[in-house]
Amino acid sequence: MLKVGLTGGIGSGKTEVAKILQIHGFPVINSDQIGHEFLNIPEVSETIIREFGKDILTGDDIDRSKLGKIVFSDPVKRVKLNEIIHPIVIEEIKRSVEEKIEKGEKVVIIESALIFEDIDTFFPQWLDKLILVLAPEELRIKRLLKDRKLSEEDILARIKSQKKPEDKIPYANWIIFNDDDFVKLNREVERVIKELRSAIR
């Protein structure tokens, strides 16, 4: 099986790329979705609440927007959250990959903004290929202001918390420039799909 990472900065459009890949029959594992699901598991949520306090709750549940404000403004706390969540997420991704192998899938796409954020520990040692989605920062901010309930201050904090996407170019097998409309994006993704299918023949 070919294990392909899909990454890009917040607002780059990597989730739209993932949707197009799914439409064309490629299974996608979304690391963010897995992380969100694990927030509801008692042993994980209890650890996070002990670390960050009850101010992150809305009712009895962890409020991701409240937690986000803390971790995206404080690198030390962000590292702490990652130490709690990432090992669990990675194990679940590996389990999902094994499941896809058993089903006879020839390719699996693993979508995560954190691929190559920390070269020594996150993903690359068992990924075969990498798709990188790029977009100008001003366009990413514009998209996020439109599509998410975040202030410009929150958006800039999240962008600043990530490695510059352009720094990942040396590790990418495919680069998708999402700097125009959906028609161009679809064309860019179809170019990658053609090469992916050639790689597994």
For position 104, which CATH number holds? 3.40.50.300
- Dist CA 168 CA 200 (whole Å): 24
How much is the pLDDT for 14? 96
How much is the pLDDT for 119? 54
In this model, does residue 174 exceed pLDDT 70? Answer: yes
Confidence of residue 114 (pLDDT cuts 50, 70, 90): confident
Q: Does this model's pTM top 0.85?
A: yes
Domain ranges, residue 110:
2-199
Domain count, the chain: 1
Confidence of residue 101 (pLDDT cuts 50, 70, 90): very high
Q: Where are the alpha helices (DSSP H) in the chain?
A: 14-23, 31-38, 42-52, 64-71, 75-102, 137-147, 152-161, 182-199
In this model, does residue 182 exceed pLDDT 70? Answer: yes
